[in-house]
Amino acid sequence: MIQPKNLKAQIEKCLSPETKNIINDCAKIAQEKDFRIYLVGGIVRDLLLERKIYDIDVTVQGDAIEFCKILQAELDCKIIQIQNDLRTAKVKFSNSIEIDFASTRKEEYPEKGHLPIVTETGCSLSSDVYRRDFTVNAISSSLNQNNFGEIEDFTGGLEDLKKKKLRILYEKSFIDDPSRIIRGLKFSVRLGFELEEKTKQQQDEYLKNPNRNLSWFRIKSELQQAFSLNVSEVLDKCVEQKIYKIFSDATNKNIKAKDVFNIINKYKSEITYIWLVYFGVLLTDKETIELFNFEKNEKRLLVDALEMIHENFYTKDLFEIYKFFENKCIESILIFYLVTKNENAILFLNELRKHKVLTTGDELINMGFLPGLQFKQIFDSVLQERLKGNIQNKQEELNFIKTLKNS
Ligand code: CTP
C-alpha cells in the first residue's frame, strides 16, 4: 500500500453516490458555518484498505450537536439520537443513510474498565485521536471543502496500516478499556493484522492479572462481533493468546476451533446465536455467565449447555437419549457435543428428534383417557415404540393406544 496524503480517490471509488452526495452537502454546510469536520476511525481505515464500509463516523471539531441542528434545518435529514454528555448525535438522511457525528473530545478513565468520562469537548483533532484504541483507527480525513480528503495522521497509523500492525496509543490502554483486547482480536482476524510487539506485551501483562470489575456490556458486544465473523481463527487466537482470561480463569483447551466452525456450518440454518456457540465452548463455570447481562434466551442456552456438560449422561437407550436432549436448543446441544464429544448429541440431532408423537390430547380425551399423568405416560410409551421402529404412522399410534386402554 502506498501512503496516500489524501483520501479523495478512495471516497470517490468506495462510497455510494448517495453517501458521497450527503458528505458533500455536509462539507458545504461546514464551510459556510465555519465548522471543521473529519472522517475518523474505522471508515478511514477501511477506505484506505478499500474494504467494505460498516458505518460512517464524522468528528466535528467543536460541537457536533449544534452542527447537526444546522444540518437538520438546511438538508433533508433528521436527528434521530442525541447523547448530551458525549455531545454526539446520529442523523438519518434520505435513503436511510445514517451518520454518527461526534464532537472532538478528551476522555479519562477514573474507574478502570468502566466507561470513560469526558473531560473536554470541542478540543483539537490531535487531542481527540489519542483517546482511541489503535493507531490504524486514529487516522482522520478532512471533509472541509478547502482541503477535502486531506489525511491527518498524528499517531503513525498509516505506517501501521502498511505493516498490518495493531498498535495501542498509550501504555495503559488495555487497563482503561479491556474490550480493546477483543477489538484487537476482531481486527486482527478481519483485516489479517497482528499485534505490534509492545502492544502484545501490554496485552499479556493485562491478562496475567485481569480486572473483573468491568463494564461487561462492551466486552459482550465485542465478543459478539468477533465470534459473529464465524471463522475458527477467532477461537484459536482467543485460546492461544489467553484472551478468555478477561472473563474466566480457565477454559476448555482441547476444543478444536475447526470442529466448532464445521459443526456450526452443518447446522447453520437452525442456529440463532452463532457467536454463543463459540463463546459457550470456552465456558467452564456458571459464574462467568453471571458476569454478563445476557438476555433470557442467551442465558438459558448457556446454562443448559453447562448443566448438560456437567451431567454428561451416556446411555444406549434411545428413549433416554431423546429425553436428555428434548427441549434443549440447538446451540446448547452443539456446545455439549463439542466439549464432551458425546455422539448421542449427533444421534439425537440427525435421527431421534425426527420422531414426533402425532396423537393429540383431544384425541386421547375422545378415546376416554383422563388428562394428567396418564397422558404423559401414554405419549412416552408411543414415543418409545416409535423410536424402536414399531410405530410408523398415526394410525399405528392410535391402534397402539387402544391396546393400552384395554390393558
Ligand atoms: N473506539 C475506541 N475504543 C473502543 C471503541 C471504539 O477507541 N473501545 C474508537 C476507534 O477509533 C474506532 C471508533 O471509536 O475506530 C469507532 O468505533 P466502532 O464503530 O466500534 O469501531 P470501528 O473501527 O468503526 O469498527 P467496526 O469496523 O467494527 O465498526
Atom of ligand 1 nearest to the CA of 133: 7
For residue 154, the 8-state DSSP code is S
Atom of ligand 1 nearest to the CA of 129: 11
pLDDT tens column, 67-122: 999 999 999 999 999 999 999 999 999 889 999 999 999 999 999 999 999 999 99
Contact 332, 305 (CB under 8 A): yes
Q: Which residues of the chain have pLDDT under 50?
A: none
Q: Find the 190 Cα to ligand 1 centroid distance in Å.
A: 14
| Beta carbons within 8 Å of 43's beta carbon, 6+ residues apart | 53, 54, 55, 56, 57
Domain boundaries, the chain: 8-163, 173-354, 361-406
Q: According to the model, what pLDDT value does residue 370 have?
A: 85
Atom of ligand 1 nearest to the CA of 46: 27
Ligand 1 site, residue 222, Cβ cutoff 6 A: no
Q: Find the 341 Cα to ligand 1 centroid distance in Å.
A: 38
Phi then psi for residue 117, to 5 deg, are -105, 150
Calpha distance 154→126 (Å, rounded): 6
CA atoms within 13 A on the CB side of 5: 1
Q: According to the model, what pLDDT value does residue 59 have?
A: 97
Can you list the alpha helix ranges (DSSP code H) found in 49-170?
A: 64-74, 125-129, 157-163
Q: According to the model, what pLDDT value does residue 406 have?
A: 66
Triad 44, 51, 272: Cα angle to 5°: 110
Q: Find the 1 Cα to ligand 1 centroid distance in Å.
A: 22
Which CATH number does 8-163 carry?
3.30.460.10
Which residue puts its alpha carbon closest to atom 27 of ligand 1? Answer: 42
Kindly state the cell numbers that stand for 386. Answer: 416409535
Sheet holding 88-93, edge to edge: 77-83, 88-93, 98-103, 56-61, 36-40, 140-142, 151-152
- pTM recorded for the entire structure: 0.93
Atom of ligand 1 nearest to the CA of 225: 28
Which residue puts its alpha carbon closest to atom 20 of ligand 1? Answer: 42
Fold category of 173-354 in CATH: cca-adding enzyme, domain 2 (1.10.3090)
Q: According to the model, what pLDDT value does residue 228 have?
A: 98
Q: Helix, strand, or coil here: 174?
A: helix
Phi then psi for residue 296, to 5 deg, are -55, -50
